[in-house]
Structure 1
Amino acid sequence: MHPFLIDLDKVSYTPEGTSVLCDVTLQASERRIGIVGRNGSGKTSLARVLAGLVAPSSGKLRINGVDVVKDRKAALRQVGILFQNPDHQIIFPTVEEEISFGLTQLKHTPKEAAERTADILARFNRSHWAKAAIHQLSQGQRQLVCLMSILAMQPRLIILDEPFAGLDIPTMMHLTRVLHAVEAHLVHITHDPAHLATYDRMIWIDQGQIVQDGAVPRVTQAFVAQMQEIGESDDFTHLPG
């Protein structure tokens, strides 16, 4: 058993010389962790680093003791990521093929993968989706397929990168209920702290660095206050750097 589920030590990410994350150090094991920040603050890059999809330029990263960049097979059992746009994640034409793929990556036999796929669909009362063509599903339905694909693999940690972007309110409410019941640890990345009200811990990131880290009400209050201050200023006159 490792002391922290998430362990980042001075992690920086500088693709093509641009500093996106700078010396991020974080240890966390809470069941529900929220990460907030403005667009361009480095949130999505942090999500991709945590999931092992991109390698840090410097520093060390472990998820449950596993180097998720170097050991991709072990990483599949530790961490999954739900992207903002499900179309960036889905690669197969039918629901059952999409869910089964990750299971075959974990070296399950085709029979085992089929059984697990049927189990996860039944758990969500979506058995009738098995043969459905994914392109015919709504964005919210495709997002649920992606989540079921991840849950079927039973990772310890699931990273959610703006999972409600583009969803209407009823779909967002349904996905919220589904996520609330998920047993895995969640790291939920968003620009809207309202989605994180029930979470155990909140981390505010800005310009690739942790600005504040702690209890949700305290960090939310500070974050919202600064966002309101920025909103009241003439922020749109500045050219992006």
Structure 2
Amino acid sequence: MSSINFSSVSVRVAIDGSDAPKTLLRDVSLELSERRIGVIGANGSGKSTLLRLLNGLVEPSEGTVVVHGDSTTAAVRRVRANVGFVFTDPLSQLVMPTGREDVELSLRRSVRNSKERACRAESVLERFGLLRLADQSIYELSGGERQLLALAAVLAVDPKVLVLDEPSTLLDLRNRELLRRTIAGLDQQVVMSTHDLDLAMDMDRVLVVEAGRIVFDGSPAEGVSFYRALCAATLDAPSLGQAPQ
């Protein structure tokens, strides 16, 4: 399997009213070749920034990101054709009235013939068990059904890499398990951020992000254990402004 490479990547953004930029990621160097990669960490740690670098939604302030041979800045269109991105809230990417129309929209660039496109969309929806929901308004669907439709729309174009940003946040137990099984059966390389530590345990490799840095990189069991200890240490630390005893 080809790899994803981060080389000395930092990301900084300007802050209104401040002369100094805010650093979201600092000096990240990684080679990601495993089939399933989990990213865990607290809110605001830099997880989403790390993921958004993978398809050019965020550009490095320093360093380079190369996905399966393509630079995310020099070859951004090719990268986006090869990297599918599923957001936390599916309503942020389901733009058509129904799931069928959304899947067909995803296929519009790669499948020019409308009849072939409709046939392909139906096949994708059937593959994910969504055909019965295909013509319902997306606003009538549950959060889990919307998330699975968003996933189907992204996978319809057969990307090489699938990036999932907190995909289980809005899911009930049944749909979470369905998502888990779906991810396990995919051919694509998957990079997923999650607060669900059971999902993280399904991965081949886990990264822990803290304050814009990769503070752990290794096996899922060790990564989850490290993250639990990190959270416990944070809880045990004196509150800001509290005088030491």
TM-score (norm 2): 0.89
> SS of 2:135's equivalent?
coil
SS at match of 2:70: coil
Please state how far the C-alpha of 1:153 moved relative to its aligned partner: 0.9
Aligned amino acid, residue 140 of structure 1:
G
Decide whether the 8 Å contact of 2:144 with 2:171 is kept in 1.
yes
Determine if contact 2:84/2:161 at 8 Å carries over to the other structure: yes
For 1:15, which of 10, 13, 16 is the aligned residue? Answer: 13
Give yes or no for the alignment of 1:217 onto 2:226: no
Partner of 1:42: 46
Answer yes or no: is 1:147 the counterpart of 2:164: no
The alpha-carbon deviation at position 48 of structure 1 amounts to 1.0
Q: Which consecutive unaligned segments of at least 5 residues does structure 1 have?
A: none
Which of 61, 67, 74 is the aligned partner of 1:63? 67
Match of 1:6 in 2: 4
CA offsets per residue over residues 172-224 of structure 1, 9 Å max, x none? 11211111111111111023432211211111111111111111122221111
- Alignment counterpart, residue 207 of structure 1, candidates 208, 211, 223: 211
Code of the residue aligned with 1:127 in structure 2: it is L
Which AA in structure 2 matches 1:13? V
Q: Contact conserved, 1:41 with 1:206, CA < 8 A, in 2?
A: yes
Among 79, 83, 91, the alignment partner of 1:79 is 83
Instruction: Specify the SS of the correspondent of 1:100.
Output: helix
Q: Which amino acid aligns with 1:176?
A: R
Structure 1 counterpart of 2:11, one-letter code: Y
Instruction: Tell me the TM-score normalized by structure 1.
Output: 0.91
User: Are 2:55 and 2:76, in contact at CA under 8 Å, matched by a contact in 1?
Assistant: no
Q: Deviations along 1:29-68, whole A, 9 cap, x unmatched?
A: 1000111111110001111111211211121111111123
Unaligned runs of 5+ in 2: 15-20
Change (3 A) 1:128 1:192: closer
C-alpha contact 1:201 1:216 (8 A) present in aligned 2: yes
Alignment equivalent of 1:182, drawn from 172, 186, 197:
186
CA 1:118–1:42: 2 relative to 1, 3 Å: same
> Post-superposition shift, 1:139?
0.9
**C-alpha contact 1:39 1:191 (8 A) present in aligned 2:** no
Secondary structure at the aligned position of 1:14 is classed as strand
Identity of aligned residues (%): 33
* Deviation at residue 236 of structure 1 after TM alignment: 6.9
Is contact 2:208–2:227 with CA below 8 Å preserved after alignment?
A: yes
Root mean square deviation of aligned Cα: 1.9
- Contact 1:156/1:185 (<8 A) preserved: yes
Rounded to whole Å, the distance in 2 between the matches of 1:90 and 1:236 is 41
SS at match of 2:175: helix
CA gap 1:233/1:194 in 2 versus in 1, 3 angstroms:
farther
Cα distance change, pair 193–58 in 1 and its aligned pair in 2 (3 A): same
Residues 191 and 125 of structure 1: CA distance in aligned 2, closer, same or farther (over 3 Å): closer
Distance (whole Å) between structure 2 residues aligned to residue 79 and residue 117 of structure 1: 19
Compare CA radii of gyration and give the structure with the larger one: 2
Q: Residues 122 and 231 from structure 1, CA distance in 2 versus in 1: closer, same or farther, beyond 3 angstroms?
A: same
Contact 1:4 1:27 in 2 (8 A): no
